[in-house]
Amino acid sequence: MNAIIDCEHEYGAHNYDPLPVVLTRGEGVYVWDDAGNRYIDMMSAYSAVSHGHCHPKLVNALIEQAKKLVIVSRSFYTDTLGLFLKTICEHTRQDCALPMNTGVEAVETALKAARKWAYTIKGVPQDKAEIIACKGNFHGRTISVLGMSTEPQYRNGFGPFPAGFKIIPYGDAAQLESAITPNTAAFIVEPIQGENGIIVPPAGYLKACADICQKNNVLLICDEIQTGLGRTGKFLACDHEGIAPDGLILGKALGGGLLPVSLFLARKDVMDVFTPGDHGSTFGGNELAAVVGLAAVNVLIEENLTARAAESGADLLQKLKQLKSPIIADIRGKGLLIGIEINPRYYSARALCLKLLKKGILSKETHGTVIRLAPPLMISSEQINTVVSAISQVLTEAEQEMQGTVNKA
């Protein structure tokens, strides 16, 4: 038993089921537990730590700003926010950005913008706007966003949910075209579905969706909270198909692994539907967040982390696909966002994550069947080899256990 785990279990809400390890510090791709054991972090906090743990440039930026000014709210101008917004807009080819804190807050902002744009610009009758989302999506867990979810556990016990959402299959552009009506305001989509098991759509899917949306005067909003900022080997995952969405949602890595920082970005006519008092956040765009967010973008560029993600991701994917085991049902991904789908008939993904934990590799299953691999973007070839070797070992151990069970039977 561990007193720290016991304390959190007693006094904390049981809305998570963590692996049994207590982490106390981190550096780069590594974290250490309370017993001094070192692990390679293959989760990077769901892409929030893409720059690595405690990156010195980001930590220094945070410390220096914290000594000067941290928050005065958006009731006043500051000398930090404008440059941050300008820089990220230039890198994403968007006109304007609205800062928030968590990813789901940025999603809520996008939904509000899309609806008001539909009423004030497109001419949709009041309270009739529709937003299309995909089956298997994960855009967050607020009540309104759960209205788009198709995951029973996320929804069970939390209804009723707001109306105005329409759900279509993921990866099928023809389904989008069929679902659009004169009241459709927007289509919100993840370029790769992360929480659903690292689901990569067919090549050309996003481009086809962009064309359909443009033809029908529907906003295409890409949720790149997990896939953006270099994760998939491009600055944005939608860059793989050369599209510029009408709206873009960023978060996680935007805070450099230090703070919650998120943005809704859009073209000017979409963002201009907001007037003073329509929407806001006391902490959104605070001085500390703006400085860290700017540093996070700059470090991503200066250290060429996007290209490193593309190269390391291809290396990791190739080596994983060389593993031969009946336990593996599929291996898929792009850049350093990779999922190993485990055949539930043979073994549990969580049980494999627990075995990896014992070998110094941190990962976490999603949907009970997929091991998610999304390390900090600076992971080295040697570290990748260590991870693949550990995965190979735990697969062998699991197969031996399966064989032992069969023999006993």
* CA-based end-to-end distance of the chain: 33
Closest by alpha carbon to 61, among 374, 227, 302? 302
Of 84, 138, 165, 283, the active-site residue reads 138
Of 116, 234, 252, 355, the active-site residue reads 252
Q: Which two tokens stand for residue 84?
A: 């941050």
Other CB atoms within 10 Å distance of the CB of residue 190: 25
Closest by alpha carbon to 260, among 141, 103, 376? 103
Q: Are 299 and 90 in contact (CB under 8 A)?
A: no
> For strand 370-373 and strand 364-366, is the pairing parallel, antiparallel, or unpaired?
antiparallel
The DSSP secondary-structure symbol of 57 reads H
Active-site residue 68, yes or no?
Answer: no
Of 41, 84, 223, 334, the active-site residue reads 223
Q: Which two tokens stand for residue 110?
A: 């996008």
The full DSSP string for 103-139 is HHHHHHHHHHHHHHHIIIII-PPTT--EEEEETT---
> Is the CA virtual torsion 264, 140, 177, 165 positive or negative?
negative
Q: Are 15 and 8 in contact (CB under 8 A)?
A: no
Rounded CA-CA distance 404/245 in Å is 53
The DSSP secondary-structure symbol of 196 reads T
Active-site residue 84, yes or no?
Answer: no
Active-site residue 165, yes or no?
Answer: no
Q: Are 47 and 401 in contact (CB under 8 A)?
A: no
Rounded CA-CA distance 11/2 in Å is 14
**Which residues are the active-site residues?**
138, 223, 252
